[in-house]
Structure 1
Amino acid sequence: MKNFALIGAAGYIAPRHLKAIQDTNNNLIAALDKFDSVGVMDRYFPNADFFVEFERFDRYIEKLKRNQNINLDYVSICTPNYLHDSHIRMALRRGADAICEKPIVLNPWNIDALAAIEKESEGKINTILQLRLHDAIIALKNNVDLTNKKNKYDIDLTYITSRGKWYDISWKGDEAKSGGIATNIGVHFYDMLSWIFGDVQENVVHLREKNKAAGYLEFENARVRWFLSIDEHDLPKEIKEKQQRTFRSITIDNEELEFSNGFTELHTESYKKILLNKGFGLEEVRSSIEIVHDIRNTGIATSGEKHPFLSK
């Protein structure tokens, strides 16, 4: 049984981490969040100590080690994107491995700095790339690897997940803290695409607004037109008629990739691999972090292969 701490216990994604710690028969000894709406902990670890101040949380971890010889093995990080770097460093300073939600950092140079610190420490940095563990995505990669296709795959990626007015008020609406739309809701798709179709050869941005973005990515083996949005007005008519607020579609050579199901246990599967020292580390995420960084900082193109939704 390993000892865990969790930072960001009040966040949206925290319950999946709490469940993964429980499902893998490990122990949560402490949790931290500046917000105290963490009743979800009663379902998983009601006896874990909880803190709303980082200083007291950090001191408690130190006292456990010094006074009771209780070592921290892992720190699960579910905090806002811009804080990941700092909290990973804290985990390594405490001699623990870090398990960090995506995006692991906002900029490529943050990866280089963390790699240097990781090399000097006893801990390891892991991130959650659950799409790489999805059966449909694994099957797609295996098929691409085995198929000697002469031409590149043509892919359309569309992801619309409606968000209310709260989004702009929260840290997610602040690009300096979240990295913007492409980073916040798209980074796991870019990771999946680079994992399956190879290195990026071209990155073109056609639209970059606060609540939506679109562009064109060319990989070694694929041409990808992508569109991401949190604006409910972008939903297709048939989705609105069903009163659904999310639309996810990936077509590959005009064939739909079905991967709507099978997400519920992927965090637990991620933890199982991490506990076997087979987690995804810093180099695995480098490509997706470079992609989203370039999307944020490149100029807007007026020509090229545009996603069909841009015609709207």
Structure 2
Amino acid sequence: MKRFALIGAAGYIAPRHMRAIKDTGNELVCAYDINDSVGIIDSLSPHSEFFTEFERFYDYAWRLKRNPTKALDFVSVCSPNYLHHPHITAALRLGCDVICEKPLVPTTVLLDDLALTERETGKRLWNILQLRHHQAIIDLKDKVQSQKHTHKREVELTYITSRGNWYMESWKGDQRKSFGVATNIGVHFYDMLHFIFGKLQCNVVHHSSAYKAAGYLEYENARVRWFLSIDQNDLPETVKCKQSTYRSITVDGQEIEFSEGFTDLHTISYQAILDGKGYGIEDARHCVETVEVIRSSTPVTSQNGEGHPLLTNLIR
């Protein structure tokens, strides 16, 4: 049984980490968040210590370190994106391996710094790249690799996840903290595309705003038109008033069904990490590079059929 701490216990994704810790047969020893809406802990790990001040959390973890039988083995980081780097480095220096949500960090410079901290501490950092464990994605990767084509596959990625007015008032609506829509809700899709279609060769942005982004990516084995949005007005008419999220991936005009099978992916990811088969810094480098370029790019008009169809609905 491994002993875990959790940073960011009140966040949206934290319950999946708590469940993964429990379902892999491990113990959540302590948790931290500046917010105290963490009642979910009662049903998953009722005996965990909880702190709303990082200094008290860190002091508690440091005192545990003095006793080999009580020291923490892992720290899971689910805090806001802009805090990932300091929280990861603090956890590594506690002598713990770290499991962090995506995006790991916003830039490759910070990625290199984390690699240095790994070497200094002798501990490992693991990134949750859960779509790599989704069976439909694994099947598609196998299909692409086994069926060699003379042409690149034509891919269309659409992800619309409606968010209310609260979103822009939260840290997620602050681009200095979330790093924007493409990074916050899109980074795992860019990792998925790299995982399936190989090395990225071209990265062009056609639209970028606080609520949505679109562009064109060309990989070794695919040409990808992508569109990401948190605006409910972008939902297709067929799903409006029925569901708040719409995911679609088509490959050469054929829809890839992957709407199901998401709930257990964190537990699968944790088990792979515990087995020493998780994804580390270098696995995450490609998607960090991708979103870094997207954030720094000036949008251009789409050409040669590279624009996503929903671009026609946008007013620049």
Using the size of structure 1 for normalisation, the TM-score is 0.98
- Report how far residue 23 of structure 1 moved: 0.3
- Report how far residue 67 of structure 1 moved: 5.5
DSSP 3-state at the match of 1:62: helix
DSSP 3-state at the match of 2:155: strand
Structure 2 residue aligned with 1:223 = 223
Q: Does 1:301 align with 2:296?
A: no
Q: Does 1:244 align with 2:243?
A: yes
- Report how far residue 155 of structure 1 moved: 0.4
Structure 2 residue aligned with 1:287 = 286
Structure 2 residue aligned with 1:258 = 257
Map 1:154-303 → 2, pairs under 5 A: 154-240=154-240, 242-303=241-302
- Report how far residue 66 of structure 1 moved: 2.3
- Report how far residue 123 of structure 1 moved: 1.0
DSSP 3-state at the match of 1:302: coil
Equivalent AA in structure 2 for residue 266 of structure 1: L
The superposition leaves residues 134-192 of structure 1 with CA deviations (integer Å, 9 ceiling, x where unpaired) of 00000000111111111000001000000000000100001111110000100000000
- Report how far residue 3 of structure 1 moved: 0.5
Distance 2:79 2:122 in 1: 23
- Kept in 2, the 8 Å contact 1:156–1:250? The answer is yes
- Report how far residue 249 of structure 1 moved: 0.4
- Kept in 2, the 8 Å contact 1:249–1:256? The answer is yes
- Report how far residue 69 of structure 1 moved: 4.7
- Kept in 1, the 8 Å contact 2:65–2:94? The answer is no
Equivalent AA in structure 1 for residue 15 of structure 2: P
Using the size of structure 2 for normalisation, the TM-score is 0.97
- Kept in 1, the 8 Å contact 2:167–2:173? The answer is yes
- Kept in 2, the 8 Å contact 1:96–1:122? The answer is no
- Report how far residue 68 of structure 1 moved: 7.3
Structure 1 residue aligned with 2:56 = 56
Equivalent AA in structure 2 for residue 47 of structure 1: H
Structure 1 residue aligned with 2:82 = 82
DSSP 3-state at the match of 1:238: coil
Equivalent AA in structure 2 for residue 52 of structure 1: T
Distance 1:273 1:303 in 2: 40
Aligned sequence identity (%): 58
| Unaligned stretches of 5+ residues in structure 2 | none
Coordinate RMSD, CA, aligned: 1.0
Equivalent AA in structure 2 for residue 57 of structure 1: F
Aligned residues: 311
Distance 1:300 1:265 in 2: 37
Q: Does 1:121 align with 2:121?
A: yes
The superposition leaves residues 32-66 of structure 1 with CA deviations (integer Å, 9 ceiling, x where unpaired) of 00000100000111100000000000111111222
| Unaligned stretches of 5+ residues in structure 1 | none
Structure 2 residue aligned with 1:109 = 109
- Kept in 2, the 8 Å contact 1:141–1:196? The answer is yes
Distance 1:303 1:262 in 2: 34
Distance 2:50 2:117 in 1: 28
Distance 2:271 2:6 in 1: 17
DSSP 3-state at the match of 1:218: strand
Distance 2:98 2:67 in 1: 23
Equivalent AA in structure 2 for residue 281 of structure 1: G
Structure 2 residue aligned with 1:311 = 312
- Kept in 2, the 8 Å contact 1:197–1:221? The answer is yes
- Report how far residue 108 of structure 1 moved: 1.2
- Kept in 1, the 8 Å contact 2:202–2:219? The answer is yes
Distance 1:196 1:64 in 2: 42
DSSP 3-state at the match of 1:239: coil
Which has the larger displacement, 301-310 or 2-11? Answer: 301-310
Distance 1:48 1:311 in 2: 51
